[in-house]
Every structure is written in C-alpha cells, then in structure tokens.
C-alpha cells in the first residue's frame, strides 16, 4: 500500500484508512466531514489549503449544559426576540480554509445568518435565529465539522469584554493634527516678509493652535498622568521630562502667538506626540490568540452533569454550584472539577494539566481523585468531597501571589536613566536662565523654555519601544511569545534558571521503552502483541505501538485484572502481562521507573521499562547555560531519575525532588530574597505558582494553542534548545538600547547648544526633533535585526 | 482676497471629514482585526469561479 495522508486532516493513514470518492481518509470522522462539505457545495474548503481539517471528536452529551438558560445567558452576547449572537473561541482555526468554511456556515445551516471570523483571536462570531435552532445545535454543528469551540469557566465569569481602542484614537488625532499643522506652518519656515504672509499668518497660527489643543489635552494625556503619578511616588520617570517638554512647547507657542512674537512650535509639539504614540503603538503588539493571564478557570468546564440521588436524573449544573456530597457524571475527555471519590467506572485520569505528565493514571472505585484530571476512558461517576474553590489544585490560587496585584514594580532601563536625565536637564535650564537674567533678562524666559523643549527626550523614549518591540516580533516568529517588552529586559538581567522536570525537559510524546530479561521467542512476542491489542491501558497501547507487526489472531481467552494486569491464552501458550506481583516474577529490586513485567507459561521472562524521554539538546543546553547561570531542577516526581540526571547534567546543577507546587514557589522566593533574578521554566498548572513568583515565568508548550498557565512568556517545545540563544539576544538588545542612548544624547547636546545660546528657532526644532527620532528608530531596528539573525541561523 | 479663507475652510472641512470617517471606522471595530479581512477579500473570487466553472473544478479536485 502506498503511504498516504488523510485528505481531510493530513494525518498519516494506517491500515484502517477509508477510500471514498477517490480520496483517502484516516478515519470515519474525517470522511463524514468531507461528505457534509461536498454535499453542501463546500468542497472549495480543500482547494484553499490542502488537508486543513481536524478529526471531529465525540461530543455526545458534552454540551447538554448549553440548554440550561442560566448558563447560555452568560455566554450569549446579544439576545433579541429571535436573534442571538455568540462569540466562540475555536482553537483549530489556523488557515484561510478555516476562515472560509466558518464564514460559510449559513450554507450548512440556513438558520445561521452571519458568521464572522477573527483570525488573530481565533474566534468566530455567529448570529443565528434562536427560534429555529438552539445554541447547543450551533455548537454541535461546529463540532461535527471538526471545529469544536472551547468553552471554559473563564467565559462564564468574564462575559463580554471591552476592547480598548484609545491608543488608535490618540494616534489618529495626533497624526491628523501633525499633518495639518505642518502644512499651516510651512509658509513661515522661510521667514520671508511678504505681503500675503504678513496678512494671513495670524489666521494660520490660530488654526495651528486649534489643532494642537486636542493633541495636548487628549492624545498626550497619558504622559501627564504618568508624570504626575511618578512625582507622587517620588520616581523621576521618563514621562516627567516629556510632560514638561509638551507643556513648555504649548505654553510658549501660545504666548508667542498671542503677543505676535513668532509662529510658535506647534509643528514640533504635534510631531513629538505623534512619534511618541507611534512608539507606544509599536510596542503594544501582543499575541491576541495567546493569553498570559490564565488561571484554572480557563481549564475548567462551565458545567457538569449532576446525578440526582433520589431519581437518578441527570441535570447540568454550574461548577460553582457543586456541593460536597454531590454525585457527578464525568464523561470521556471531561475534566474533573473538584476533589472527589470515584464511585463507579474505570477511571484513567490524565493529570497533564496539573503536572505535565501525560501518562494516564488508573484509579479504582473508592480512590480519591484530584481536581484538574481528565478522564480518558468511558464515563465515571464521582462524589464531590469539596467545593471547587477548596480543592487541592484551586487552593494554590488563594496564595498571596495571585491575590495581590503586586506587579513587583519593575523599573525599566529608560526610567533608570531618566532619573539622572531629568536632574541634569533641570539644572542646565536653571543655570542657563540665571546666566541670561544677568546678561539679558528679556531672553531669560525664552532660554528656559527652549531648554525644556529641546531636551524633551523623544529619541530616548523611542529607542526602547522600537528595539524591544522589534525583538518581540522576531521572537514571536521563532515561536517564543512574550507577554510584553519588559520581559526582554528582565530576561537580560537573570542569573538563575529553574526547570521543572516532567513535561519541561522531558517530552510527553515518546517515552523510550527498553526490554530487560530473557529474549522472547517469536511465538511469545506474537501472543504478547495480540494480548496487548485487546487492552486499553495506556501502557499497553504504548507497548503495542513499538512491537513488530504480527498477524492478528483471535485469543482463546483474555482477561483483564483491574490494577494488576492482563492475561491471554492461545492454544497451549499462556501469557501474563502486568505488575511484578501479578506476573509472579522474582521481585527484583523494584526500580522507580514504570515497568511492565511479562511471564509466559508461568515462567518469568523479563520486563519492559518506560523511561522518560529527555528533549533533544537538553544536555548541551544545560552545559551552555551553566557557564553564566545557576541551574536548578525542581521536580514534583520521586527521585527515580536522580542518578541518571546527575550523570548527564553539569555538576553544579541543583536537583530537588518531591516538590509540591507550594514548595516550588517558596524555593523561588528564597532565591529572590538572596537578590537573585530567577527564570522559571515549567509547563503544568502545578508550576503556576512558581511561574508567577519568578521574575520571568516561561511556559513550555507542545502546542501553543493549547492552554498554558499564567506566565510571562510561552515557548514552543520544539524551540526548547534555543533558550540560550534567546537569552543572549535579549542581552544584546539591552546593549543596543544603551548605545542608542549615546546617539540621542549627542542630538540633545547639539539642541541644547542652540537652546542655551538663545537661538532656538522653530525651524531648528522642527528639523532636529524628527531627525533625532527617526535616526534612533532606524538605528535600533537595524541593529536588533542583525542581532536576531543568530536565531534564524541556528534553526 | 477672501479666496484664501474659502480655500482654508474647504481644506479643513475635507480634512475633518476624513478624520471623522477614521474615528467612525475605529469605533465600528474595523481596526480590531486587521488580518482576517485581507484573507476574506480573496474568497469571493474563489466562489464565483467555483460556480461558473463548477464541472471542471470538481473533476480537477477528484484527479488530484
């Protein structure tokens, strides 16, 4: 058979592939979606992008809660008599085909009138007729075509969000005023006394004044507020000289035109504000499809199914309404929202949200289950023993670090410099003024304002946003997503790096499996494979996948012993697979590795052990980092791998095992008390506290569309080996900014010369200000681009 | 003489008209998502082509 990929989802097709309509499909789900699309004339979906689809998941009963009006009400944005609008987050949106199909939903379901995709946010806004179809039907329709929306507890609590567009308004106003003022001030640049000019210049000047009013009082508002706040908390931030400059420009220009002394500096004033806002806009770039503020709410479902004790009726209830003692039904792939006791059913709990460990854990009835686990098997019944807020996992969020909004006031580079800058500028202004009072008192006030105007640190304020904004974008292209530009600066300062083990330096995808013991005969191996085929246990599936292909045979006897193992019989041969006790093997010194023991015909054969697979390049990364940073591994697991880790990691690495989420947080706190700047690299919700406490929390994610805990940066797992490059680039970035400060100081000195000698004319200001800003912006953009070449090269 | 005032008024009115239309555009959310429309505008062509030359199109996809 020719190797082929699924026409719908692009996955590799194995033997079970389906041929239909001359196309190959990996599973029935994909075929069904294709069928739906081709029946509705939507096969164009496959022309825009090859294999754009996703396998539709089983959703039976999962969205029943959407029929509960109280829950649906919270999600729906707009509700008229017969029209409803809802915005749904769909993680699968990734290409133009997705946009196309989702905006053509009305062809599939005529009751949907409009659907509009926001691609960067991965949301679709659907308007539908709620008399004919319900919200639940809309969601199920999306799920059947492979676009299952993600609805979490977070949607429930936040509701409709307000988008802040004030920066765009401000930028628009400043740009509008800047352009017009430039036109109006142009005639006077040449200082020719001509009849027309003399006659109309007053009109021109007052028009410029009118244009600059909204710029000063609306667009530049933030600088005044920030300067005021800085003064009140006794910090001389960069906004103080900016605010002073703007104020000086506006006051002096107004006085000049009132007394007919000159044209004023309205052009420089509006230009300055426009450039400053542009810098802010450039820096503001965020990844709207990623969220850096997630807590457990974005992982948890909105509602669960409660089974009433008296009449066994199922009813959807809001998770916050779960009370101690409630009987709940958890379906396949649903999340357990509370700490509970398993009552009925086979539980295979995947705690990857919590620990990063993707190996499902098998539980039996009577066992305690913790909130945050995902059921991977058929539906189970549980009894809640706590409420949602009091569960083990959610309690972490009641720690001070989450409740206090204390963003440890981080003073960035420009603020550090501006402290000295402001003092120097003010003293120059005062000195120059006193000098001119003695020499020529009429000029004194001119010189004072001129110094404040020219010293306005436009270039200084622009260097950082443009340099860091550019690095931020380049990092984003290389799958390292930062929350904001401050993170780069903080990355450049760190001296200690802490790694979580499971899921961070180990991969979840492929564990190495090794066999120890007597070699198995082909017959035994064939029997082993066939016995494993019947089992759904995650370890069985893994082992099954690595064994060679054998013909499929029907077993004479197959038995599964819960929590112990499985056994199979064929003809005369009998095989037992499972724990050491069950197999009856010689109890060799039980290693802490997960292992599966095998015995055939009652003789012990050996065992397969499952190792954690470390990511590629872990060793070289640690080696490279250990030169400059203190490294620590904090693992929530037992110390089974300690020996191995000490062997292959640099000697100085500190290894700590059995760390609870709170231990991790406290460990970082203790390092910080020793004045260390700490980076935490983690992945699961159990690292959430540590990620928050650290100076920079980096979440490693196999798939950035899947959820990661609150952090400062999200790193795609495939780029794990690039960590040290990102750190060096951040450091270089800071160096580039510092060097650009030198450049802007030179401009300031030239400007100050004009100002102090009392010959600052509007035209000099109008040339010098944009010139300095633009050249500094070009300088930093160019240099950061060059320094980031390193990342592209090494990938 | 007064012509310059007329010109000034006109130029400022034109500028303000554009400015107001910009504000309205922002208010309507046209700047919230600057990526999707760029993809969406290419679709209409695709669909029209699909309807006009449907038979050839479907056979083409089947062959591929």
How do residues A45-79 score in pLDDT, each as one tens digit? 887 777 777 777 766 667 777 777 777 777 787 77
Alpha-carbon span B20 to A679, nearest angstrom: 47
Do A676 and A705 belong together in one domain?
yes
> Of A242-256, A270-284, A690-704, which gets the smallest average pLDDT?
A690-704
Indicate if the pLDDT at residue A146 is higher than 90: no
Q: Does A620 lie in the same domain as A573?
A: no
Whole-angstrom distance, CA of residue A437 vs CA of residue A421: 24
Whether A561 and A705 map to the same domain: the answer is no
Chain B nearest-CA distance from A168, in A, is 8
List the beta bridge partners of residue A604.
Answer: A599
Whether A133 and A207 map to the same domain: the answer is no
Q: Cα-flanking dihedrals φ and ψ of residue A459, to 5°?
A: -65, -40
| pLDDT band, residue B58 (cuts 50/70/90) | very low
Work out the angle at residue A72's Cα, subtended by the Cα atoms of residues A332 and A147, and round it to the nearest 5 degrees.
50
CA dist list (Å): A757 to A153, A432, A435: 65, 8, 10
Phi, psi of A48 (to 5 degrees): -70, -40
Q: Which residues of B touch A (CB under 8 A)?
A: 4-5, 8, 12, 15, 18-19, 22-23, 26-27, 29, 31-33, 35-36, 39-40, 42-43, 46-47, 50, 57-58, 61-62
Q: Do A490 and A624 share a domain, yes or no?
A: yes
A405: confidence class by pLDDT, cuts 50, 70, 90: very low
Kindly report the number of other CB atoms within 10 A of residue A333's CB atom: 14
- Distances in whole angstroms, Cα of residue B38 to Cα of each of A97, A521, A544, A696, A729: 13, 62, 47, 35, 32
User: What pLDDT does A406 receive?
Assistant: 45
Given strand A496-500, what is the order of strands in its sheet? A480-482, A713-716, A696-701, A678-682, A496-500, A630-634, A654-656
CA distance linking residue A731 with residue A750, whole number of Å? 30
Same domain, A153 and A219: no
**Do residue B35 and residue A120 have CB atoms under 8 angstroms apart?**
yes
Non-local (6+) Cβ contacts of A501 within 8 A are A612, A633, A634, A635, A636, A637, A641
How far apart CA A398 and CA A405 sit, in angstroms, is 13
Mean pLDDT of all residues belonging to chain B: 71
pLDDT at residue B54, rounded to an integer = 39
> How long, in residues, is chain A?
795
A215 & A274 share domain:
yes
- Residues B43-60, mean pLDDT to the nearest whole number: 46
Contact at CB, B12 and A117, closer than 8 angstroms: no
pLDDT value at A124 more than 50: yes
E-state strands within B1-64: none
Each residue's pLDDT tens digit, A668-714: 888 888 888 888 888 767 777 788 888 888 888 776 666 667 788 88
The strand pairing partners of A480, in sequence order, are A715
Domain boundary among A135, A158, A181: A158
For residue A664, pLDDT beyond 90: no
Residues of A within an 8 Å Cβ radius of B = 21-22, 41, 43-44, 46-48, 96, 99-100, 103, 116-121, 163, 165, 168-169, 172-173, 176, 179-180, 196, 200, 203, 207
What secondary structure letter does DSSP report for A335? B
Q: Using the beta-carbon criterion (under 8 Å), do A176 and B22 form an inter-chain contact?
A: yes
Q: Which of B27, B33, B58 minimises the CB distance to A119?
A: B33
Pick the residue of B15, B17, B53 with the most A CBs within 10 A to test the interface with A by mutation.
B15
Sign of CA dihedral A761, A762, A765, A768: negative
Check if the beta carbon of residue A109 is closer than 8 Å to that of residue A124: no
SS3 B43: helix
pLDDT band, very low/low/confident/very high, at A549 (cuts 50, 70, 90): low
Residues A280 and A426 in one domain: yes
| Most confident option among A208-222, A558-572, B41-55 | A208-222
Nearest Cβ partner of A180 from B5, B15, B57?
B15
- The highest-confidence range among A373-382, A585-594, A672-681, by mean pLDDT, is A672-681
A395 three-class SS: helix
Nearest to B47 among A22, A44, A200 (CB): A44
Backbone Cα Rg of chain A: 33
What mean pLDDT is predicted for residues A382-393? 78
- Domain containing A71: what range? 64-158
Domain boundaries, chain B: 3-56
> Are A7 and A97 within 8 A, CB to CB?
no
Mean pLDDT of B19-33: 86
A740 and A638 together in one domain: no
Q: What is the mean pLDDT of residues A467-471?
A: 87
Pairwise CB contact (< 8 Å): B39 & A99: yes
Confidence bin at A213 (pLDDT 50/70/90): very high
Q: Can you tell me whether residue A288 is helix, strand or coil?
A: coil
Which of A116, A169, A200 has the CB atom closest to B26's CB atom?
Answer: A169
Q: Cα–Cα–Cα angle for A771, A772, A776, nearest 5°?
A: 115
For residue A677, tell me if it sits in a domain: yes
- In three-state secondary structure terms, A479 is coil
Whether residue A295 lies inside any domain: the answer is no
Q: Please answer yes or no on whether A117 and B36 come within 8 Å at the CB atom.
A: yes
A165 interaction partners in chain B (CB closer than 8 Å): 26-27, 31-32
Do the Cβ atoms of A523 and A657 come closer than 8 Å?
no
Nearest chain B residue to A184 by CA: give it. Answer: B8
pLDDT at A502 over 60: yes
Query: Which of B36, B50, B62 has its CB closest to that of A99?
Result: B36
Radius of gyration of chain B (CA): 23
CA distance A706 to chain B (A): 21
Please state, rounded to an integer, the average pLDDT across all residues of chain A. 79
Extract the tokens encoding A149. Answer: 């929306």
Give the pLDDT score at A556. Answer: 78
Closest partner residue to A168 (CB to CB) among B26, B39, B61 is B26
Q: In the predicted model, what is the mean pLDDT of residues A578-602?
A: 67
Is residue A123 predicted with pLDDT exceeding 90?
no
Please say whether the beta carbons of A771 and A789 come within 8 A.
Answer: no
Residue A682 to residues A119, A509, A603, A625, A658, Cα–Cα distance (Å): 28, 17, 44, 17, 15
For residues A22 and A26, give the distance between their C-alpha atoms in angstroms, rounded to a whole number. Answer: 13
Determine which of A7-21, A336-350, A506-520 has the lowest per-residue pLDDT on average. Answer: A506-520
**Alpha carbons A548 and A567: distance in angstroms, whole number:** 20
Please indicate whether residue A456 or residue A488 has the higher confidence score (pLDDT). Answer: A488
Q: Which residue of A has its CA nearest to B1?
A: A196
CB A682 within 8 A of CB A699: yes
pLDDT in tens, A413-424: 777 787 888 888
Show the DSSP H helices in A478-571 as ranges.
Answer: 486-493, 522-534, 538-546
Count of the separate structural domains present in chain A = 5
Residue A253 and residue A266 in contact, taking contact as beta carbons nearer than 8 Å: yes
Q: For A786-794, what is the mean pLDDT?
A: 73
For residues A743 and A609, state if they share a domain.
no
Position A357 scores a pLDDT of 63
Whether A198 and A154 share a structural domain: no
Q: Judge if A710 and A736 occupy the same domain.
A: no
- pLDDT score recorded for residue A203: 84
pLDDT of residue A284: 73
Q: What are residue A129's DSSP bridge partners?
A: A83
pLDDT digits (tens, 9 = 90+) for A294-346: 666 667 777 778 887 776 777 777 777 788 888 888 877 777 888 888 887 77
Residue A320 lies in a domain: no
Q: Under an 8 A CB cutoff, do A22 and B8 touch?
A: no
Cross-chain residue pair B58–A47, CB shorter than 8 Å: no
Which SS3 state, helix, strand or coil, does residue B36 take?
helix
Query: What distance in Å separates the CA atoms of residue A786 and residue A779, rounded to the nearest whole number?
Result: 11
A614 torsion bin: left (phi>0), alpha (psi -120 to 50), beta (else)? beta
A589-609 average pLDDT score: 71
- Point out the residue among B33, B39, B50 whose CB comes nearest to the CB of A44: B50
DSSP lists the bridge partners of residue A383 as A327, A341
Is A291 within the bounds of a domain? no
């Amino acid at each position: 058979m020719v190797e082929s990929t699924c026409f719908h989802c692009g996955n590799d097709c194995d033997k079970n592939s389906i041929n239909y309509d001359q196309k190959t499909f990996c599973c029935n789900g994909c075929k069904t979606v294709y069928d739906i699309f081709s029946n509705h004339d939507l096969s164009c979906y496959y022309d825009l992008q090859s294999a754009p689809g996703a396998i539709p998941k089983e959703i039976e009963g999962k969205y029943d809660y959407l029929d509960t009006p109280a829950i649906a009400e919270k999600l729906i944005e707009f509700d008229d008599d017969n029209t409803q609008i809802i915005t749904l987050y769909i993680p699968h949106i990734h290409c133009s085909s997705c946009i196309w199909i989702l905006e053509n939903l009305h062809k599939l379901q005529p009751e949907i009138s409009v659907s509009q995709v926001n691609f960067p946010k991965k949301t679709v806004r659907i308007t539908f007729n709620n008399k004919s179809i319900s919200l639940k039907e809309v969601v199920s329709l999306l799920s059947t075509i492979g676009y299952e929306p993600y609805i979490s507890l977070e949607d429930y609590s936040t509701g409709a969000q307000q988008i802040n567009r004030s920066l765009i308004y401000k930028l628009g106003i400043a740009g509008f005023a800047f352009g017009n003022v430039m036109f109006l001030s142009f005639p006077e640049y040449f200082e020719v006394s001509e009849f027309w000019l003399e006659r109309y210049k007053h009109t021109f000047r007052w028009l410029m004044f009118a244009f600059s009013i909204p710029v000063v009082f609306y667009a530049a508002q933030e600088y005044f507020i920030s300067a005021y706040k800085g003064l009140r908390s006794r910090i001389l931030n960069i906004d103080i000289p900016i605010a002073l400059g703007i104020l000086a420009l506006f006051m002096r220009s107004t006085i000049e035109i009132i007394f007919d002394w000159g044209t004023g500096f309205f052009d420089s004033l509006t230009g300055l504000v426009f450039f400053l806002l542009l810098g802010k806009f450039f820096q503001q770039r965020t990844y709207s499809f990623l969220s850096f503020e997630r807590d457990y709410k974005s992982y948890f479902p909105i509602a669960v199914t409660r089974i009433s004790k008296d009449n066994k009726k199922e009813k959807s209830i809001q998770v916050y309404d779960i009370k101690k003692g409630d009987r709940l039904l958890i379906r396949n792939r649903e999340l357990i929202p509370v700490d509970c006791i398993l009552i009925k059913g086979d539980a295979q709990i995947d705690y990857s949200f919590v620990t990063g460990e993707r190996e499902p854990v098998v539980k039996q009835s009577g066992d305690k289950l913790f909130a945050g686990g995902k059921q991977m098997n058929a539906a189970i019944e549980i009894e809640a023993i706590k409420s949602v807020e009091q569960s083990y996992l959610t309690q972490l969020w009641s720690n001070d670090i989450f409740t206090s909004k204390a963003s440890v006031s981080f003073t960035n580079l420009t603020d550090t410099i501006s402290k000295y800058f402001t003092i120097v500028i003010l003293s120059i202004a005062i000195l120059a003024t006193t000098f001119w009072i003695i020499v020529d008192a009429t000029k004194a006030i001119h010189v004072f304002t001129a110094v404040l105007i020219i010293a306005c640190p436009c270039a200084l304020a622009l260097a950082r946003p443009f340099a860091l904004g550019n690095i931020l974008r380049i990092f984003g292209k290389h799958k390292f997503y930062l929350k904001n530009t401050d993170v780069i600066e903080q990355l450049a300062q760190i001296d200690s790096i802490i790694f979580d083990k499971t899921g961070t330096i180990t991969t979840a995808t492929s564990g190495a499996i090794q066999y120890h013991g007597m070699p198995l005969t082909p017959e035994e191996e064939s029997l082993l494979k066939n016995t494993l085929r019947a089992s759904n246990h995650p370890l069985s599936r893994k082992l099954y996948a690595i064994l060679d292909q054998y013909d499929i045979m029907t077993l004479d006897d197959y038995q599964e012993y819960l929590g112990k193992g499985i056994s199979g019989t064929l003809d005369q041969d009998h095989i037992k697979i499972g724990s050491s006790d069950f197999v009856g093997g010689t109890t060799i010194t039980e290693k802490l590795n997960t292992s599966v023991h095998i015995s055939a015909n009652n003789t012990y054969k050996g065992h397969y052990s499952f190792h954690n697979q470390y990511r590629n390049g872990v060793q070289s990364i640690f080696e490279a980092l250990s030169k400059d940073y203190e490294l620590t591994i904090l693992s929530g697991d037992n110390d089974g791998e300690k020996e191995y880790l000490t062997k292959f990691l640099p000697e100085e690495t500190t290894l700590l095992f059995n760390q609870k989420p709170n231990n991790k947080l406290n460990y970082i706190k203790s390092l910080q008390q020793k004045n260390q700047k700490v980076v935490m690299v983690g992945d699961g919700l159990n690292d959430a506290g540590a990620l928050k406490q650290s100076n920079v929390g980096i979440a490693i994610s196999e798939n950035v569309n899947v959820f990661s805990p609150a952090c400062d940066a999200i790193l795609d797992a495939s780029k794990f080996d690039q960590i040290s490059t990102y750190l060096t680039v951040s450091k270089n970035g800071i160096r580039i900014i510092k060097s650009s400060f030198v450049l802007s100081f030179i401009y300031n000195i030239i400007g100050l010369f004009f100002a102090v000698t009392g010959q600052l004319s509007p035209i000099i200001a109008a040339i010098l200000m944009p010139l300095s800003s633009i050249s500094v912006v070009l300088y930093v953009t160019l240099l950061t681009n060059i320094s980031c070449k390193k990342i592209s090269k090494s990938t | 003489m007064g012509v310059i005032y007329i010109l000034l008024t006109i130029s400022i009115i034109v500028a303000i008209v554009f400015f107001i239309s910009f504000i309205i555009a922002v208010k309507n959310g046209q700047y919230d998502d600057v990526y999707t429309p760029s993809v969406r505008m290419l679709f209409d062509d695709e669909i029209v082509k699909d309807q006009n030359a449907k038979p050839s199109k479907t056979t083409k996809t089947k062959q591929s």
